[in-house]
Each structure stands twice: as structure tokens, then as C-alpha cells.
Amino acid sequence: MTAAGAALLVVDDNEDNRYTLTRRLNREGYENLTMASNGREALDKMKAQPFDLVLLDIMMPDMNGYEVLEQVKTTPTLRDIPIIMISSLDEIESVIRCIELGAEDYLSKPFNPTLLRARLGASLEKKRLRDEVRRNMMRLAQELQAARELQLAMLPRQFPTCSPSHPIAVHAVMEPAREVGGDLYDCFYAGDHTFCFLVGDVCGKGASAAMFMARARSLVRIIVALWREWRTDDNDPGALLEAVNRELCQDNDDCMFVTMFLGLVDTRSGLVSFVNAGHPRPHLVSSTGETKQIDSKSSLPLGVRREARFQRQTLQILPGDALFVCSDGVFEAVNDKGDLFSIERLGQLLRRANAAEPQEMVRIVRDAVDAFMGNASRTDDLTALALRWRPAERSIV
């Protein structure tokens, strides 16, 4: 910012002082100068037009410099304007009060030309840097918002309709703790009678976790599609995740990893083949009202060791039974008292919601977590997926 281009406001009730300071500023190259003869006039001018710097006298009638400074710093649209206080008072108490109220600097009368030049230049340079930071932050916020929308667009928002040929009702949600997150979910038919679902949680947060999350989800989709094309036997979730894991370990210099629960439902028999790669155990919500976490042996997360093996396990569900899978951002949510939402609380909630459709079940859990946290900030992504096997139903949306 050049001296000629900087917009300065000079506030002093004494006309001679304004004239003297204006002449001095002109000699230093400052041409865009505005005058105010009192505090109220100064506030009106600051509200009416932008200024890069204000030179504010302290001792003024009606509304002194302290009062003007205090009002400026409590007004959101004005508080970022740098203000240099000017006074014939040289007591340390006056300097301290001005700095505590938010003044940029302090100058004593009569002015030392060298000191005036230096402090004006330093204050304007700091404002230029702050403005640059603010512009970059706004640009970053816009880019992060675009990244958030792109990431959420990668996850299904339209879910398969439950019908006689596709008897799975399903719904899921992912809410990042930051602009972008590392959780993921997916659900799709991997064959005429095979429904694939997964929930994952990448280590860390932010852009790197989001990129790893997108890579993991895409690999699952690609490998399932290739499996269907090249093999005629049933999909093996263990072999699927071993292939995904090998790819994730490739060029993984940052040692990222993702926990994942991957399940394949035989829609004719209700047999669920699954692998738990270090993920929290899902809940089985029985149509009779019984709710419990399923027994599952946990394997290593994906991306940790290239030669890791993933054990296939099975679970038999009955018509009307539901499965609820979530990330640890649900039961590890913390309120402002430091209390955990807890797996026990989640189990009780699912027991009361055992008859709810998947969309309603997910909403109940999400709302309960939000209510439990209150004003506390979310520190982890929240992801939840619910599905219900309805082979006898004609159609449920």
C-alpha cells in the first residue's frame, strides 16, 4: 500500500492541530486525507466510507478519543480499522489504556517527524498484511466449501428403493466435523441378490483424510465391479478388502489408514458375509426389539500392512431385522461437561427405535447426538448407516 493511495482520517477538535498534522502528512506523501472535528463526526465518517488508518486525538469534548476507540472496537464493521492515538499526555497509564482498548499505536504531541513516518508506515503495512490474510482466508473458506460439496457428492444421497426384487431398505448420513472429513459410507447392489454396504473412518481430519477416503471408496467400487466381471462365484468380502488394502498400501508415504466394516447381504437368505477391518462393531436391531452389538473379530485397518489378511465372518439376520453401523464419532461424542455419548446410550436409543425405518433410525441417532453435545464443538466426523431386510414386503421407499 503506497502513501498516496492510503485513505487516512484525522480526528482532532483543534483546527490548528488538524492543519499542522495535515501539512506534515502531505510532506510524507499522504494525499487522501479526511478531517473530523469531533468523535461523533469521526464515527459517522468511518461508517460512511472505508479508511486504512485513523489518527485519533484523545482529549476532545463531548466524546473523547477513548470513547471513540471503544465504540469502534465493539462495532463489527469498524473494529478492524487500525487507530493511532494522538495526545499531549505522555503518561504511561494513558498509553496502556489505549493499547488495552485496541489501539494500533500511540503518538505524543508535538510530533517527531521520523517517528510519525515510521509508525504510519508500520501500521499501514500491518493492515495490508491483515487484509491479505483475510482475503486468503475467504478464498480458502470458499475452496473448502467447494471441497465439502464435492466430497459429499461422492457419497450416495439417493438410496435403493426397497422392493420384492431388492428387499433392502437403507439410509445413511455423514457429517464432517470440519469442512471436509475422513469418514465414508457406501451401499449398492453388487449382484442380482447381493447388497454391499460399508462404513469407514480414515485416520486424521481435513483434506488429506478426505482424499484418502475418496480413494478407499472408489477402490471398493472398482474391485467389486471387476470381481463381478471376472469371477462367477460369490463375492468374498475378505478377498475384496485384501485387494483394496494392497492398493491403499501402495505409495502410502504418509502412513494413512482407514478402519472399515464391509458387509455383503444375500437378499434371498438374509446371510450377511462381512469383514471388520478395525472398525467399531455394528448393532443388530432385531424385529423383536432385542438390540446388541454383533460378535466380530477385528482385523487390521486398511493401509497398515500390504500382506494383511482379512477374515470373512457371517451373520444370519431374520426378516425385519436391521443393522446399524456407525463411526466412533457417534458414541465418542463429548458434551461440554466432558461426558461421552457412549455405546451403552447408543444401544438404548436403538432399542427404543427398533421399529423405525432406516431413515428415521439414522435421524433419531443424529438428533440425539446433537442434543447431547449441546453447544460443544464436534471433534470427530459423524457417520451412520442403517439397513433393514424386508423380503416379505411388497415395496417400501
- State the sign of the Cα–Cα–Cα–Cα dihedral 148, 328, 385, 302: positive
**146 within some domain:** no
CA separation for the pair 7, 54 (Å, rounded): 9
Q: Are 283 and 329 a contacting pair, CB within 8 Å?
A: no
What is the spatial order of strands in the sheet that 322-326 belongs to? 168-175, 382-389, 322-326, 283-285, 291-293
pLDDT of 386 reads: 97
Q: Residue 96: its pLDDT value, please?
A: 87
CATH number, domain with residue 126:
3.40.50.2300
221 with 127, same domain: the answer is no
Residue 395, domain member (yes or no)? no
Report the Cα 240 to chain-centroid distance in Å. 31
Model pLDDT, residue 394:
42
pLDDT value of residue 397: 41
Specify the pLDDT at position 223: 92
- For the chain, 397 residues long, give each residue's pLDDT as a single digit of tens: 677 789 999 999 999 888 988 998 998 889 899 999 999 999 999 999 999 999 999 988 889 999 999 999 999 999 889 999 988 776 788 888 888 899 988 888 887 888 888 989 898 888 888 889 989 988 877 777 777 777 777 788 899 999 999 999 999 999 887 666 778 999 999 988 999 999 999 987 777 888 888 899 999 999 998 887 776 556 789 999 999 999 999 988 888 999 999 999 999 999 999 999 999 999 999 988 899 999 888 899 999 999 999 999 999 999 999 999 999 999 999 999 999 999 999 999 999 999 999 999 999 999 999 999 998 888 888 999 999 999 975 444 4
Peptide bond into 82 cis (omega under 30): no
Do 117 and 169 sit in the same domain of this protein? no
For 332, other C-beta atoms within 10 Å of its C-beta total: 15
* Assigned domain for 150 exists: no
In a domain, 117, yes or no: yes
Query: What is the spatial distance between Cα 299 and Cα 305, in angstroms, rounded to a whole number?
Result: 11
Q: Give me the domain span that covers residue 97.
A: 7-136
Q: Are 155 and 198 in contact (CB under 8 A)?
A: no
Q: Are 271 and 291 in contact (CB under 8 A)?
A: no
Question: What is the side-by-side strand order in the sheet with 313-316?
Answer: 183-191, 194-202, 258-266, 271-277, 313-316
Whether residues 271 and 130 fall in one domain: no
**pTM exceeds cut of 0.85:** no
Q: Are residues 258 and 368 in the same domain?
A: yes
Q: Which residue is it, cell 489504556?
A: 97
DSSP structural state of residue 378: P
Check which CATH number belongs to the domain holding 166 and give it: 3.60.40.10
Q: In what order do the strands lie in the sheet with 7-11?
A: 32-36, 7-11, 53-57, 83-87, 105-108
Does a structural domain hold residue 397?
Answer: no
Amino acid identity for residue 345 in this structure: R
Residues 276 and 313 in one domain: yes
Q: Are 25 and 127 found together in one domain? A: yes
Residue 353 identity (one-letter amino acid): A
22 and 57 in a common domain: yes
Task: Please indicate, yes or no, if residue 143 is contained in any of the structural domains.
Answer: no
In this structure, is the dihedral angle defined by the CA atoms of residues 273, 204, 384 and 215, taken in order, positive or negative?
negative
- Per-residue pLDDT, 370: 94
Same domain membership, residue 125 and residue 204: no
Instruction: Please tell me whether residues 105 and 193 are part of one structural domain.
Output: no
Residue 1 lies in a domain: no
Which residues does 305 contact at the CB level (< 8 Å), separation at least 6? 245, 249
Q: Do the Cβ atoms of 382 and 329 come closer than 8 Å?
A: yes
Count of domains observed in the chain:
2
- Are residues 185 and 311 located together in one domain of the fold? yes
- Report how far residue 58's alpha carbon sits from residue 96's, in angstroms, rounded to the nearest whole number: 13
Q: Please return the burial class of 336, using the count of CB atoms within 10 Å of its CB with bins 0-12, 13-18 and 19+.
A: exposed
In-domain check, residue 307: yes
Phi, psi of 193 (to 5 degrees): -130, 25
Q: Do residues 127 and 62 both lie within one domain? A: yes
Could you tell me whether strands 322-326 and 271-277 are parallel, antiparallel, or unpaired per DSSP bridges?
A: unpaired
**What is the residue-wise DSSP string for 159-174?**
-PPB-SSS-EEEEEEE
The angle, 0 to 180 degrees and rounded to 10, between the axes of the packed helices 113-154 and 206-230 is 20
